[in-house]
Structure formats: C-alpha cells, structure tokens
Structure 1
Amino acid sequence: MAVDLKERGLAVVDPQARRLYDPRGRADALVTVGDGTTLPYLTKELVEDLLADPPDPNNPFLVIEREEQYYVQTCLDSDGVYELEYRAGSEDEHFHVHTSDRSLVRDVVWAWSTDNLWWRDAVRWRDLTIEERPG
C-alpha cells in the first residue's frame, strides 16, 4: 500500500543526501535540481538547503516550475555568482539578474513559489535577450 507522504504531512529523511523533506508550509510546484532529483513541493528551508548544499556541486541549479514555460530557476557559477531567471509564459517574458547574495536568491525563489509579488520588485530584472539565452 503506497502512502502519499505529502498529503499526510509526513516528512522523509534522505540519509545519503543528509536532507529532510518536510511538507509542512510547502508550496506545491515541480522542483528539479542539478542531480536530476525532482520533488513535488518546496519549502523555504528546502530552498536554503538546496542553495547552500547543491545535490550535484558540478551542476548547481534549481528549477521551480508551475506549468510549462512558467518557472523560476537559478544556477551558481564557478565565481560564486547566481544567475536567477524567471519566465512567465513566452520569450518576451523571460528575465534574469546576477547576484552573489544567496539569501536574496532564496527569498526571491520562495516569494515566487508562494505567489508573493515582492519578488518582482526585489531585484532589477533584465530582459533575457535571444543573444544571451543558453543553447
């Protein structure tokens, strides 16, 4: 019998990753981290933990997605600078900012995840032009 831990409010400890997954106070979203792990929700504590100790230090990214083309994501570069992006449905609504302030990244990601509009004015978002887009 499978138990839906999230719906029952039960926490899970991952001893290999040394991480606690506790759904209390969660924001429901699809979360993907650099090692390919996906999670069905996010908490502020989990955002901090994933930023401070990425599951794959060689690929330190975090993507939080509400639906296709609606996401916020961040990646830490080798100089200790985060690129923080959000996309609101289309190429014309794709913005980014660079910062070395992990607390700011955590707060923006969490605010976006919880529909707190503070994140929009918290940083100076720049349009992510086609020339700047990866790939």
Structure 2
Amino acid sequence: MLKPLLRAVDGGGRTVDDPTEEALHNLLAEMSLSYRFVILDRLDLEPADQHYIQVYLNDDLSYRVEYREGSAEEHYQAHVPRVHEVFGPEESTAKVMMDWAHDRQGWREALPWTPMPFR
C-alpha cells in the first residue's frame, strides 16, 4: 500500500488520507464553533508538518485560510467573508485547498494572501 501524500484533519480529530475535493468539502461543511478547523497537510515535503493549508472558522462565521510552505517566513493568510445566510464554506475554499495540494495554477491568485505576523 502506498503512503498517503495528503492528510486532512478536522477539529474533532477525524483524519482522511488523500481526500478527494468532495471529501474535503464535506469536512469543511461540517465545521462548527465547536470544531473550528480543517488542516490539509502535504506529507511528501520536508520539513514535516510545515507544508499545509488550513481553514479556521471565526466567531462571525467568516473564515481565515492559511498556508505554510516550510517556514514562518512562508506563512500566509486570507480572510473569506461569510456571503450567504446558510452556514457553510464557499465551494471555492475546497478548490483552493486542493489546487494548493496539487500545485495547480491559479490558487495563489484565488484569495488575497497576506503574510502572517510573526509571533
């Protein structure tokens, strides 16, 4: 059996190896104020645990999307406002995450990324 290249983890601790875009969208749709995040890790890159994209549900039900490419200097965020009264992530959020994971063109332009402040 091949090792997974991607691993999605949600705020409840559920993991999905090599998720499809549909599976990732389902994880995002199940986010709540109790389970606020979904992280998608690239397991094939070094250093380990430093190549990921994640979505965090804010108190106002908007989203913060972050990605990191190996170091704190390469850690970025974007704000995705809540645009519908019905709770749930925009379909484009799962697409951006999968495009990032597979290094497809266009994901960097899909959201207004800004550097994460150093802590």
Scaled to the shorter chain, the TM-score interval is 0.7 to 0.9
Aligned length: 106
Q: Name the structure 1 match of 2:68.
A: 87
Is 1:125 aligned to 2:113, yes or no? yes
Question: Which 10-residue stretch deviates more, 97-106 or 38-47?
Answer: 97-106
Q: Name the structure 2 match of 1:18.
A: none
Q: Name the structure 1 match of 2:86.
A: none
Per residue, is there more strand in 1 or in 2? Answer: 1
Q: Name the structure 1 match of 2:57.
A: 76
Q: Name the structure 2 match of 1:109.
A: 97
Structure number with greater Rg is 1
RCO comparison, higher one (Cα < 8 Å, 6+): 2
- Pick from 37, 62, 65: which aligns with 1:61? 37
* CA distances 1:67-106 after superposition (whole Å, capped 9, x unpaired): 4200100111121111000000011100000102622312
* Percent identical residues: 29
- Pick from 6, 9, 12: which aligns with 1:35? 12
Runs of 4+ in 1 over 4 A off after TM superposition: none
Q: Structure 2 counterpart of 1:63, which letter? A: I
- Contact conserved, 2:55 with 2:64, CA < 8 A, in 1? yes
Which whole-Å CA distance do the structure 2 matches of 1:105 and 1:81 have between them? 12
1:39-54 paired onto structure 2 within 5 Å: 39-54=16-31
Which whole-Å CA distance do the structure 2 matches of 1:117 and 1:96 have between them? 18
Q: Compute the TM-score of the two structures, normalised by the length of structure 1.
A: 0.70
- Contact conserved, 1:28 with 1:42, CA < 8 A, in 2? no
Q: Compute the TM-score of the two structures, normalised by the length of structure 2.
A: 0.78
CA-based RMSD of the aligned residues comes to 2.0
Match of 2:18, SS state, is strand
Match of 1:115, SS state, is coil
How far the C-alpha of 1:57 sits from its partner, in A, is: 4.7
What runs of 5+ residues in structure 1 fail to find an aligned partner? 8-26
How far the C-alpha of 1:41 sits from its partner, in A, is: 1.3
What runs of 5+ residues in structure 2 fail to find an aligned partner? 83-89
Match of 1:31, SS state, is strand
